[in-house]
Amino acid sequence: MPFTVGTNILTPTVTIDTVICANLLPFTWNNINVNATGLYSFITQNAFGCDSNTRLNVIIKLVTRSITVDSTCANQPYTWNGNTYTTPGTYSVTLTNAAGCDSIATLILNVKPIPTVVINDPPPVCEPLTINLTAPSITAGSDRGLTYTYWMDSLATIPLVNPAAVAVSGNYYIKALGANSCTSTKPVKVTVLIYKLVAGIRYPTITTAPNTTTQLSARNIGNSYVWSPPVGLSSPFVREPLFNYDRQTEYLINITRDNGCITVDTVFVKIIARPRDSLVRSDLFVPKAWTPNNDGHNDKLFPLTVNIRELKYFRIFNRWGQLVFETNIIGEGWNGILQGKPAIMDVYTWTVEAIGVDGKHIKKAGNSVLIR
């Protein structure tokens, strides 16, 4: 402890150094209010009856402050100075700095929302079709601007190699990343259903005489049947039609199963001519209906010809008598397009005139239904 010696050795001066943190101000020393850095004096009498001067040298250490501004995702709790925060706000803690004084740390936390992900299971398809999990319809209803990743398992550890062409039924998972860098809490399940293909087969050849009623039969594996071409059959829309025709024909049988998948079978009907049938005969007829849906079957309305040498004309009229199609080319027909647009479903009237290879002059008229 230093002493300052004056004119009287019995009047000592004592200086005391005191270091104090600013947050402890003010304080009282010998009835003196101390609130700033400096020297404070207190004079009293010593044992000799002389003045004794005691000085307090006050050194103030400042309280330090810090501000941290940060953000986190709502599904990622934020840890700061040993505490965990899940809601936005301003938080403060009081620590001790190197000088032993208070260090006030403040956190301004922003909590970003996690993406809203809505997954719509795709409709089932039939082999060999695949399902595109990246199609917008799968995530319709989700937040905009999301980036998706696709997984084979719910833990998002096995990525899908090609999510745009999934070919196996099962549960898959989609996870989303928002523009705010937050991800969905967990991958969301999407169910894929792909029906197995029932392969088409060729039936044993059916042999019959011309113009002889013969039973045909398709496999009993579906609930809808379409025979193509429809010529020579009692009905092209049943499983077991009757064949009565004078020309050998190969039929494609489109069998629609209860899950909507189509299997195509084939059967060939071979005609063995009898001596009395050796005379060439000509004829034609026009189907009662056609379905211009571009499926490759019955898409056009045209005369089905038997030994026809020349087609004079084939004309189609709507119900108001307006000509909508005309041709003189065998095998050419109307695809149901009128002035660049699909014609309406309706009954259409047709007329046809042709010359057979046997010189027979054929002229017919009738009605056919356009079905979509």
**279, 295, 319 — which closes off a domain?**
279
Q: Is the pLDDT of residue 2 over 50?
A: no
Q: For residue 344, give its domain range.
A: 280-372
Average pLDDT of span 213-225: 94
Domain match, 165 and 243 both: no
* Cβ count near 36 (within 10 Å): 11
Distance CA 350, CA 205 (A): 35
What pLDDT is recorded for position 123? 94
Average pLDDT of span 330-359: 91
pLDDT tens-place string over residues 148-179:
999 999 999 999 999 999 999 999 999 999 99
Average pLDDT of span 283-312: 90
Share of the chain above pLDDT 90, in %: 63
Domain match, 293 and 367 both: yes
Domain match, 371 and 315 both: yes
Distance CA 243, CA 199 (A): 25
Domain match, 307 and 372 both: yes
Average pLDDT of span 323-330: 94
Domain match, 223 and 286 both: no
What pLDDT is recorded for position 280? 65
Residue 301 domain flag: yes
Nearest to 190 by CA among 145, 152, 143, 164: 152
Residue 189 domain flag: yes
Domain match, 190 and 207 both: no
CB contact at 8 A, 352 and 314: yes
> pLDDT confidence of 11, banded at 50, 70, 90?
low
* Overall domain count for the chain: 5
Average pLDDT of span 93-97: 83
* Cβ count near 118 (within 10 Å): 12
Q: Is the pLDDT of residue 326 over 60?
A: yes
Domain match, 360 and 298 both: yes
Domain match, 153 and 218 both: no
Distance CA 6, CA 43 (A): 14
Domain match, 309 and 260 both: no
Q: Is the pLDDT of residue 228 over 80?
A: yes
CATH code for the domain of 345: 2.60.40.1220
Tokens (6 digits) for 186: 């967990």
Write the DSSP string, 131-199: B-TTSGGGGTTSPTT-EEEEESSTTS-SB-S-TTSB-S-EEEEEEEE-TTS-B-SSPEEEEE-EEPP--
Residue 71 domain flag: yes
**19, 36, 61 — which closes off a domain?**
61
Residue 88 domain flag: yes
Residue length of the chain: 372
CB contact at 8 A, 231 and 238: no
With tokens 């039924």, the residue in question is: 169
What pLDDT is recorded for position 5? 42
What pLDDT is recorded for position 4? 43
What pLDDT is recorded for position 277? 45
Domain match, 290 and 359 both: yes
What pLDDT is recorded for position 10? 52
Residue 366 domain flag: yes
Residue 344 domain flag: yes
Q: Is the pLDDT of residue 41 over 50?
A: yes
Residue 118 domain flag: no
What pLDDT is recorded for position 58? 82
What pLDDT is recorded for position 273? 67
Nearest to 37 by CA among 48, 51, 26, 52: 26
Domain match, 70 and 51 both: no
- Give the bridge partners for 306, in sequence order: 283
What pLDDT is recorded for position 36? 84
Q: Is the pLDDT of residue 306 over 60?
A: yes
For the ranges 37-46, 181-190, 280-289, 332-341, which has the lowest average pLDDT? 37-46
Domain match, 36 and 84 both: no
For the ranges 95-109, 129-143, 188-202, which has the lowest average pLDDT? 95-109
> pLDDT confidence of 7, banded at 50, 70, 90?
very low
Q: Is the pLDDT of residue 103 over 50?
A: yes
Q: Is the pLDDT of residue 9 over 60?
A: no
> pLDDT confidence of 180, banded at 50, 70, 90?
very high
Pairing of strands 102-112, 64-73: parallel
CB contact at 8 A, 232 and 247: yes
Residue 117 domain flag: no
Distance CA 267, CA 239 (A): 13
CA angle 196-202-203, nearest 5°? 120
Mapping DSSP onto H, E and C, the string for 310-365 reads: EEEEEEEECCCCCEEEEECCCCCCECCEECCEECCCCEEEEEEEEEECCCCEEEEE
Average pLDDT of span 59-64: 79
CATH code for the domain of 245: 2.60.40.10
Diameter of the chain by CA atoms? 164
For the ranges 173-177, 263-267, 275-279, which has the lowest average pLDDT? 275-279
**169, 195, 221 — which closes off a domain?**
195
Radius of gyration (C-alpha) of the chain in whole angstroms = 48
Residues in CB range of 106: below 8 A, 6 or more apart: 65, 66, 67, 68, 90, 91, 92
Average pLDDT of span 309-330: 94
What pLDDT is recorded for position 325? 96
Please report which helix (H) or strand (E) contains residue 296, including its range. none
Higher-scoring residue by pLDDT: 358, 110: 110
Residues 232/236/242/243 CA torsion (nearest 10 deg): 20
Give strand ranges (E) for 200-240. Answer: 206-208, 214-215, 224-228
Average pLDDT of span 25-44: 84
How far is the first Cα of the chain from the last one, in angstroms, to the nearest whole number? 111
